């Protein structure tokens, strides 16, 4: 039963992150997600210091606010002339340092130790359950389902708008779409996803689940719908595969999930249709044959 819940949690992480990741990759904001996954720590610590509780809702709120602040600060620095990579770097390292410092100062002996935040411990998920409407499921599963639902609702509600503002922001602006609102709403979603996943796979490895499956799907698809479906599937596959590899080697589950996602990416990168190394080689051979014949 425990194994079942770990697998469910992992798959949900894969699906939720895969969904959000698609738009991160398409909007070229992968590194902002990395930044948010670090600053979420700051938000959670602040929420803990203010409320003195480890309640999931306060954590979500703190993390959401921290995510929006990160996106906003990066935007401000950038619009005042600092280049993008440096703005991201300055903002997230600073907030992360403040977060680590606050933990050591105020929350040293709580469950909030830094290593847990960074690496998560998915194996402990099944023991922390929560009952709602006669249904007892691990807390992490509830949280992930909730975030997945928000993600899906947001996508269904704003699919056209998001798509347009992703692929043709200038046109989107000219027909009066609220680009700023969409940007920050999306950033909030990314932070929510990060918090929901951080309890099980840790803040740093959320980045892997957000970016790697979506990038793999990007290499394999030419339409956004196909990319979304593939990204969610690959995310799930990485989570489940990662769990069994980790069990086999008796190693960190979260780390193995990231590594599996990386392995899938590598395979796809090498053997993908049209552009993969194998295909390129075959094309070269074909071309050689042609030139020899003519």
- Closest contact distance (angstroms) between CB of 40 and other proteins is 13
Tell me if residue 148 falls in helix, strand or coil.
Answer: helix
Contacts with other proteins, 36-65, as mask; x by CB under 8 A: --x---------------------------
Segment interacting with other proteins (CB under 8 A) among 6-14, 83-91, 144-152, 187-195? 83-91
Tell me if residue 80 falls in helix, strand or coil.
Answer: coil
> By the 8 A CB rule, do 246 and 253 touch?
yes
Task: Write out the two tokens for 144.
Answer: 């992930």
Segment interacting with other proteins (CB under 8 A) among 48-56, 84-92, 129-137, 192-200? 84-92
Contacts with other proteins, 206-245, as mask; x by CB under 8 A: -xx-xxx--x--xx--------------------------
Of 14, 1, 65, residue with least CA distance to 216: 14
Task: Write out the two tokens for 208.
Answer: 């892997």
Of 47, 40, 54, 58, residue with least CA distance to 95: 40
- Closest contact distance (angstroms) between CB of 72 and other proteins is 15
Contacts with other proteins, 4-43, as mask; x by CB under 8 A: ---------------------x--xxxx-xx---x-----
Q: Which of 249, 290, 291, 292 binds other proteins (CB under 8 A)?
A: 249
Between the two ends of the chain, the Cα-to-Cα distance in Å is 66
Query: Beta 135-138 vs 129-132: how paired, if at all?
Result: antiparallel
Q: Please give, one letter per residue, the 3-state secondary structure of 17-67.
A: HHHHHHHHHHCCCHHHHHHHHHHHHHHHHHHHHHHCCCCHHHHHHHHHHHH
Q: Which is nearer to other proteins, 25 or 177 (CB)?
A: 25
Q: Is 109 in the site for other proteins (CB under 8 A)?
A: no
Q: Is 246 in the site for other proteins (CB under 8 A)?
A: yes
Cβ count within 10 A of residue 37: 32
Residues lying near other proteins in the complex (CB under 8 A)? 25, 28-31, 33-34, 38, 77, 80-83, 85-86, 88-90, 93-94, 96-98, 100-101, 104-105, 108, 114-115, 118-119, 204-205, 207-208, 210-212, 215, 218-219, 246, 249-252, 254-259, 261-262, 265, 269, 275
């Amino acid at each position: 039963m425990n194994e079942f819940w770990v697998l469910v949690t992992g798959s949900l992480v894969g699906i939720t992150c895969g969904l959000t990741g698609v738009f991160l990759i398409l909007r070229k904001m992968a590194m902002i997600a990395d930044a948010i996954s670090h600053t979420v720590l700051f938000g959670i610590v602040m929420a803990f210091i203010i409320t003195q509780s480890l309640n999931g809702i306060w954590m979500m709120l703190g993390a959401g606010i921290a995510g929006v602040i990160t996106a906003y600060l990066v935007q401000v620095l950038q619009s005042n002339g600092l280049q993008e990579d440096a703005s991201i770097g300055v903002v997230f390292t600073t907030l992360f340092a403040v977060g680590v410092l606050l933990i050591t100062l105020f929350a040293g002996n709580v469950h909030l130790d830094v290593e847990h935040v960074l690496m998560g411990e998915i194996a402990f998920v099944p023991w922390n359950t929560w009952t709602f409407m006669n249904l007892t499921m691990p807390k992490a599963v509830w949280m992930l389902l909730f975030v997945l639902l928000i993600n899906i609702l947001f996508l269904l509600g704003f699919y056209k708008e998001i798509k347009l503002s992703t692929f043709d922001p200038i046109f989107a602006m000219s027909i009066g779409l609220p680009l700023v609102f969409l940007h920050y709403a999306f950033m909030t979603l990314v932070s929510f996803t990060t918090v929901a996943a951080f309890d099980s796979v840790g803040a740093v490895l959320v980045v892997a689940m957000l970016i790697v499956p979506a990038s793999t799907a990007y290499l394999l698809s030419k339409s956004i719908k196909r990319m979304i479906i593939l990204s969610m599937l690959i995310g799930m596959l990485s989570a489940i595969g990662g769990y069994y590899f980790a069990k086999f080697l008796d190693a960190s589950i979260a780390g193995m999930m990231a590594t599996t996602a990386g392995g899938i990416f590598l395979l796809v990168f090498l053997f993908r249709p049209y552009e993969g190394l194998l295909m390129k080689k075959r094309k070269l051979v074909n071309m050689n044959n042609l030139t020899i014949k003519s």
